[in-house]
C-alpha cells in the first residue's frame, strides 16, 4: 500500500517536472545565449552554461545602440512598451468600469442596446478593423505617437462584461443604503464600488498589461520612427538584418528583457490576484 | 420626532400591476407601527415608498408635516435598517456608522461623539475597528441599527430586520429593538411577516393583504376583534378555526352566508351539558401535538348537511378540522371522540364572505 502510494505521488511529480522543463528550457537557453559572445552562437555552438559577456551584452543592448546596425537602444523601446502597456491597461479598466457602472446601475433608454453594442465589439478586434482604424488614426494625426498606440486599443468588451457581472452581484440594498446615507452616484462609485472592485481591477490589470505589452501588429503599422518602436517589434528588427550577421546575443538579451515586466507584474499582483479569487464577502 | 401620515397612497407598476391599492394611516409621534402581512402583500413596497426608494403613483406621504413625495431619500430625514443589513463590507464598523454623517458635512468631533454614543448604547464599542465580515449575525444587525441611530432621524424604517437571525437571537433582538425605540422615542415603521413579532412590537398594527389594509389598530384589539377572516387567521398562532355559519345553528342576522370563527384557546372540552348559547362540536381526535405548557388537539368534525365547507388557504386548517388548545399535557388518545364547547361570547362572526365582522 505504502509502495503504491509512493509510486502514485511520483508519477504526477514526474509529469509536472517534465512539463516545467519543457516550458523553462527555451527561457534558460535565451538567458544563456545572451551571456555569450556573438561569434560563439554564430558558429553554431550553443553552449548550455553561462558565458562571460553577460554584463557587456546587456549594457550594449539597453543603453547604446551598436554601430553596425541602425538599432535603437532597447531601454527606449522598453519605455515605449511600458507607456503603451500601462496606457492600454489603465484606459481599458477606466473605460470599461465606467460603462459597466452605467449599464448596471442606471436605467436609461436603450440601455440593453448599449450593452449589446459593446458586447458585439468582442467580434471586432484590431485585426478585423485594421484599415478603418488606421485611416482614422492617421486622419487625426496620431501616427507615431503614444496616443495613436494606446487609444484605438482601449475599448474593451471583455472587461466591461467582467465588471458588469461583478456589479450585478453587489446587493441592491447597498446602493439603497448609500442613497439613504446621502451618497450620490459619484460618491457611491468612488466610496463603495471602487473599493469593492479592487481585486477585480488587479486581476484585469495583469491580463490587460500583458495584452498591451505583447501588441505587435498595431504598433508595427502606425510607428515608423525608430524612437517610437516597442520592444516586441524591436526583437523582430534585431533578428531581421540585411547584409550582416544577426546579433543573436543581443536578440536574446532583448527577448529576456521583454519578458521581465510582465513577469514582474504577475509576481507583484499575485497577492491581490489570489485574494480576489478566495475572498467571498461582498 | 414626527408623525407619518399616508393619504390614499397607491403604487402601480408600468405593466399595470397594482401593488398598493390606496392606503391611509397615521403613525403618531414616537409610535411604533408594524406592517404585517403574507409575502407579496405590498408591505415592503409601502415601506420603500416611505423611504423614497420607490416612486409614489398617487396619494401623499407626509413626514413631520412635510409632503415627501418628491424628496430624495437622503433628504427625508429617515434611516432604514435592511433585511440583509447592507453594511459596507470594506469599511470598519466605525466608518459604516460615520459615513452618512460625513456625507452630510458634519464636523469630525461631532461625528465621533455620536458614533461613540451609539456604539455604547448598542454595546459595539469594542468592535469599532472591525470589518462587517468579522462580525456575527447579531453584531452586524447591531451595526445596521447603529448606522440608523447615529443619524438621529425623525423616523426609523425597519425592513424585516430580524429574519436573517436564528430563532433565539431573533427574540433577544426583538426585545432590544423595542427597548431602544422606547428609549430614543423615535417614530418607527417596521415590516415583518411574523405575526408574533408584530404583536409584541407594535403600538399600531397594520395588517395588510393584497395591497390593501385589512385592519389597523392596537395589537390586542386586532387580536380580540379581527375585522375580517384574513386577519382572524393571520394574527394569532395557532390560527383561528373557521367554518361556514350555516353549519352551526346560530340565529344571527346577516350571518346566514357568513363565516364563524373561534380561537383554539377559547374552546373547552366538556363531555356533558350545553350552557345557554354555547356551540357544541363533536370531534374525533386526529392528531395531538405536545408543546410542553399546552397541548394542541386536532379534531375532525363529522361532515354535516351537504358537507360543503369553505376552502382552506395555505397555512389554514383543512375544512372540517378544528384545533383545540388546552393547557397542560393531558390529551385524549387518537381516534377518541371528544366534545368541545365554544362559548357564545367568544365566537367571531363574519358576513359578506368573511369581509365584514358582525358584532354579536
Task: Kindly report which listed range (A185-189, A232-236, A276-280) carries the lowest average pLDDT score.
Answer: A276-280
- Is the pLDDT reported for residue A33 higher than 90? no
DSSP, res B301: P
- Is the pLDDT reported for residue B330 higher than 90? no
- Is the pLDDT reported for residue B125 higher than 50? yes
The reported pLDDT for the residue numbered B357 is 87
pLDDT digits 0-9 by tens, B248-277: 666 666 666 778 889 999 998 887 777 777
Q: Could you give the CA distance from residue B6 to residue B26 in angstroms, rounded to a whole number?
A: 6
Cβ neighbors of A11 (< 8 A, separation 6 or more) are: none
Contacts of A176 in chain B (CB under 8 A): 51, 53, 73, 80, 82, 86
Q: What are the residues facing B155 on neighbouring strands? A: B78, B187
Q: Which residue of A has its CA nearest to B76?
A: A180
Grid coordinates of B253: 342576522
* Whether A179 contacts chain B with CB within 8 A: yes
CA distances from A28 to A62, B60, B311 (A): 20, 76, 82
Partner residue opposite A281 with nearest CB, options B74, B80, B89: B89
CA distance A22 to chain B (A): 43
pLDDT digits 0-9 by tens, B205-221: 999 999 999 999 999 99
- Contact of B121 with B99, CB cutoff 8 Å: no
Torsion sign, CA atoms A111, A117, A120, A126: negative
pLDDT bin (cut points 50, 70, 90) of residue A282 is very low
The reported pLDDT for the residue numbered A278 is 66
A182 contacts B103? CB cut-off 8 A: yes
The reported pLDDT for the residue numbered B305 is 47
The reported pLDDT for the residue numbered A9 is 81
The reported pLDDT for the residue numbered A70 is 57
The reported pLDDT for the residue numbered B306 is 45
A174 contacts B79? CB cut-off 8 A: no
pLDDT digits 0-9 by tens, A213-226: 999 999 999 988 88
Rg over CA atoms, chain A: 24
Partner residue opposite B100 with nearest CB, options A174, A182, A282: A182
Please give the interface size between A and B, counted as residue pairs whose CB atoms are below 8 Å apart: 57
Contacts of A180 in chain B (CB under 8 A): 51, 73-74, 78-80, 100
Highest-pLDDT range among A18-22, B1-5, B254-258: A18-22
Mean pLDDT of A113-138: 89
The DSSP-derived string for B143-167 is HHHHHHHTT--SEEEEESTTTTS-H
Partner residue opposite B133 with nearest CB, options A182, A192, A281: A281
Partner residue opposite B100 with nearest CB, options A174, A181, A196: A181
Q: Which residue of B has its CA nearest to A176?
A: B53
Grid coordinates of B64: 413631520
- Is the pLDDT reported for residue B311 higher than 60? no
Place of cell 470598519: B92
Tallying the residues shown for chain A, one arrives at 282
pLDDT digits 0-9 by tens, B53-89: 999 999 999 999 999 999 999 999 999 999 998 999 9
Cβ neighbors of A115 (< 8 A, separation 6 or more) are: A103, A164
Mutate to test the interface with A, among B47, B80, B96 (most CBs of A within 10 A): B80
Partner residue opposite A180 with nearest CB, options B80, B87, B90: B80
End-to-end CA distance of chain B: 41
Q: Could you give the CA distance from residue A114 to residue A119 in angstroms, rounded to a whole number?
A: 9
The reported pLDDT for the residue numbered B251 is 65
- Is the pLDDT reported for residue B285 higher than 80? yes
The reported pLDDT for the residue numbered B79 is 93
The reported pLDDT for the residue numbered A66 is 56
Q: What are the residues facing B325 on neighbouring strands? A: B296
Q: Which residue of B has its CA nearest to A192?
A: B88
> Parallel, antiparallel, or unpaired: how do β-strands B155-159 and B187-192 relate?
parallel
CA dihedral B200, B205, B207, B212 (to 10 degrees): -160
* Whether A196 contacts chain B with CB within 8 A: yes
Cα B180 to its chain centre, rounded Å, is: 19
**For residue A144, is it left (φ>0), alpha (ψ between -120 and 50) or beta?**
left
Angle between helices A74-105 and A54-62 (to 10 degrees): 60
| Mean pLDDT of chain A, nearest integer | 86
- Contact of B30 with B186, CB cutoff 8 Å: yes
- Is the pLDDT reported for residue A276 higher than 80? no
The reported pLDDT for the residue numbered A64 is 72
The three-point CA angle B336-B340-B341 to 5° equals: 170
Q: Could you give the CA distance from residue B195 to residue B222 in angstroms, rounded to a whole number?
A: 11
The three-point CA angle B158-B142-B48 to 5° equals: 20
pLDDT bin (cut points 50, 70, 90) of residue B308 is very low
The reported pLDDT for the residue numbered A73 is 84
ipTM: 0.81
Q: Could you give the CA distance from residue B180 to residue B161 in angstroms, rounded to a whole number?
A: 14
pLDDT digits 0-9 by tens, B158-204: 999 998 888 888 998 999 999 999 999 999 999 999 999 999 999 99
Residues 110-129 (A) with a CB less than 8 A from some CB of B: none
Grid coordinates of B286: 386526529
Partner residue opposite B82 with nearest CB, options A173, A182, A282: A173
CA distances from B140 to A151, A248, B86, B131, B146 (A): 45, 64, 9, 10, 10
Contacts of A182 in chain B (CB under 8 A): 74, 100, 103-104
Q: Could you give the CA distance from residue B351 to residue B360 in angstroms, rounded to a whole number?
A: 12
- Is the pLDDT reported for residue A68 higher than 60? no
The reported pLDDT for the residue numbered B315 is 45
pLDDT bin (cut points 50, 70, 90) of residue B316 is very low
Contacts of A194 in chain B (CB under 8 A): none
- The secondary element (H helix, E strand) that includes residue B294 is strand B294-300
| Number of neighbours of residue B40 by Cβ within 10 angstroms | 13
Cα B142 to its chain centre, rounded Å, is: 21
CA distance A179 to chain B (A): 6
Backbone angles phi, psi at B317, to 5 degrees: -70, 145
Task: Kindly report which listed range (A3-17, A248-262, B223-237) carries the lowest average pLDDT score.
Answer: A3-17
Q: Is the peptide bond before B238 cis (omega within 30 degrees of 0)?
A: yes
CA distance A214 to chain B (A): 35
Q: Could you give the CA distance from residue A168 to residue A165 in angstroms, rounded to a whole number?
A: 5
The reported pLDDT for the residue numbered B254 is 66
CA distance A154 to chain B (A): 29
Task: Kindly report which listed range (A11-20, A30-39, A77-86) carries the lowest average pLDDT score.
Answer: A30-39
Tallying the residues shown for chain B, one arrives at 360
Contacts of B80 in chain A (CB under 8 A): 176-177, 180
- Contact of B49 with B69, CB cutoff 8 Å: no
CA distance B70 to chain A (A): 15
Cβ neighbors of A16 (< 8 A, separation 6 or more) are: none
CA distances from A92 to A65, A84, A86, A197, A211 (A): 34, 12, 10, 15, 11
Share above pLDDT 90 across residues of chain B, in percent, rounded to a whole number: 58
Q: Which residue of B has its CA nearest to A196?
A: B90
| Mean pLDDT of chain B, nearest integer | 87
- Contact of A237 with A71, CB cutoff 8 Å: yes
Mutate to test the interface with A, among B14, B51, B68, B73 (most CBs of A within 10 A): B73
CA distance B59 to chain A (A): 22
Which of these, A161, A73, A79, lies nearest to A120 by C-alpha position? A161
Q: What is the 3-class SS of B313-353, one letter each residue?
A: CCCCCCCCEEEEEEECCCCCCCCCEEEEEECHHHCEEEEHH
> Parallel, antiparallel, or unpaired: how do β-strands B279-290 and B294-300 relate?
antiparallel
pLDDT digits 0-9 by tens, A190-239: 999 999 998 889 888 998 999 999 999 999 999 888 888 888 888 888 88
Q: Could you give the CA distance from residue A66 to residue A57 in angstroms, rounded to a whole number?
A: 11
Q: Which residue of A has its CA nearest to B52?
A: A180
Grid coordinates of B8: 390614499
> Parallel, antiparallel, or unpaired: how do β-strands B58-63 and B66-67 relate?
antiparallel
Amino acid at each position: 500500500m505504502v509502495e503504491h502510494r509512493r509510486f502514485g505521488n511520483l508519477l504526477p511529480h514526474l509529469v509536472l517536472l517534465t512539463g516545467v522543463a519543457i516550458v523553462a528550457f527555451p527561457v534558460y537557453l535565451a538567458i544563456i545565449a545572451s551571456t555569450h559572445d556573438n561569434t560563439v552562437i554564430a558558429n553554431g555552438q550553443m553552449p548550455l552554461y553561462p558565458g562571460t559577456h553577460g554584463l557587456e551584452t546587456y549594457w550594449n543592448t539597453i543603453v547604446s545602440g551598436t554601430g553596425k546596425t541602425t538599432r535603437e537602444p532597447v531601454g527606449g523601446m522598453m519605455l515605449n512598451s511600458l507607456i503603451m502597456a500601462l496606457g492600454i491597461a489603465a484606459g481599458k479598466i477606466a473605460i470599461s468600469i465606467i460603462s459597466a457602472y452605467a449599464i448596471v446601475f442606471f436605467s436609461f433608454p436603450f440601455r440593453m442596446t448599449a450593452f449589446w453594442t459593446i458586447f458585439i465589439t468582442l467580434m471586432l478586434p484590431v485585426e478585423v478593423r485594421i484599415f478603418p482604424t488606421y485611416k482614422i488614426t492617421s486622419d487625426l494625426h496620431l501616427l507615431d505617437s503614444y496616443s495613436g498606440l494606446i487609444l484605438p486599443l482601449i475599448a474593451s468588451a471583455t472587461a466591461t462584461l467582467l465588471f458588469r457581472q461583478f456589479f450585478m452581484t453587489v446587493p441592491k440594498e447597498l446602493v439603497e443604503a448609500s442613497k439613504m446615507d446621502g451618497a450620490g452616484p459619484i460618491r457611491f462609485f468612488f466610496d463603495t464600488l471602487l473599493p469593492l472592485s479592487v481585486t477585480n481591477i488587479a486581476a484585469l490589470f495583469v491580463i490587460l498589461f500583458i495584452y498591451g505589452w505583447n501588441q505587435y501588429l498595431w504598433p508595427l503599422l502606425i510607428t515608423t520612427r525608430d524612437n517610437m518602436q516597442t520592444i516586441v517589434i524591436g526583437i523582430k528588427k534585431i533578428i531581421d538584418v540585411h547584409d550582416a550577421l544577426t546579433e543573436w546575443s543581443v536578440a536574446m538579451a532583448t527577448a529576456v528583457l521583454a519578458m521581465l515586466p510582465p513577469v514582474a507584474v504577475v509576481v507583484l499582483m499575485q497577492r491581490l490576484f489570489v485574494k480576489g479569487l478566495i475572498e467571498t464577502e461582498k | 420626532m414626527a408623525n407619518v401620515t399616508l393619504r390614499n397612497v397607491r403604487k402601480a407598476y408600468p405593466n399595470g400591476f397594482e401593488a398598493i391599492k390606496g392606503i391611509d394611516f397615521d403613525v403618531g409621534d414616537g409610535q411604533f407601527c408594524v406592517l404585517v402581512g403574507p409575502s407579496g402583500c405590498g408591505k415592503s413596497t409601502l415601506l420603500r415608498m416611505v423611504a423614497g426608494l420607490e416612486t409614489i403613483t398617487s396619494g401623499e406621504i407626509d413626514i413631520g408635516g412635510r409632503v415627501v413625495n418628491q424628496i430624495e431619500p437622503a433628504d427625508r430625514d429617515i434611516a432604514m435598517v435592511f433585511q440583509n443589513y447592507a453594511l459596507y463590507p470594506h469599511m470598519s464598523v466605525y466608518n459604516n456608522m460615520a459615513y452618512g454623517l460625513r456625507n452630510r458635512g458634519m464636523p469630525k468631533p461631532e461625528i465621533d461623539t455620536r458614533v461613540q454614543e451609539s456604539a455604547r448604547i448598542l454595546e459595539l464599542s469594542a468592535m469599532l475597528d472591525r470589518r462587517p465580515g468579522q462580525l456575527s449575525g447579531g453584531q452586524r444587525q447591531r451595526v445596521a441599527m447603529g448606522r440608523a441611530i447615529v443619524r438621529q432621524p425623525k423616523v426609523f424604517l425597519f425592513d424585516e430586520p430580524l429574519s436573517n437571525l436564528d430563532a433565539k437571537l431573533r427574540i433577544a433582538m426583538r426585545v432590544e429593538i423595542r427597548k431602544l425605540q422606547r428609549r430614543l422615542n423615535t417614530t418607527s415603521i417596521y415590516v415583518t411577516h411574523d405575526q408574533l413579532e408584530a404583536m409584541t412590537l407594535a403600538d399600531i398594527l397594520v395588517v395588510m393583504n393584497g395591497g390593501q389594509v385589512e385592519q389597523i389598530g392596537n395589537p390586542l384589539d386586532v387580536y380580540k376583534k379581527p375585522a375580517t377572516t384574513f386577519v382572524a387567521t393571520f394574527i394569532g398562532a395557532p390560527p383561528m378555526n373557521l367554518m361556514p355559519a350555516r353549519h352551526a345553528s346560530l340565529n344571527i342576522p346577516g350571518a346566514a352566508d357568513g363565516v364563524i370563527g373561534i380561537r383554539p384557546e377559547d374552546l373547552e372540552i366538556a363531555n356533558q351539558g350545553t350552557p345557554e348559547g354555547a356551540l357544541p362540536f363533536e370531534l374525533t381526535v386526529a392528531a395531538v401535538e405536545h408543546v410542553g405548557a399546552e397541548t394542541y388537539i386536532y379534531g375532525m368534525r363529522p361532515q354535516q348537511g351537504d358537507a360543503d365547507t369553505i376552502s382552506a388557504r395555505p397555512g389554514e386548517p383543512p375544512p372540517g378540522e378544528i384545533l383545540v388548545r388546552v393547557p397542560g399535557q393531558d390529551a385524549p388518545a387518537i381516534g377518541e371522540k371528544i366534545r368541545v364547547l365554544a362559548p357564545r361570547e367568544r365566537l367571531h362572526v363574519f358576513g359578506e364572505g368573511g369581509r365584514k365582522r358582525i358584532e354579536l
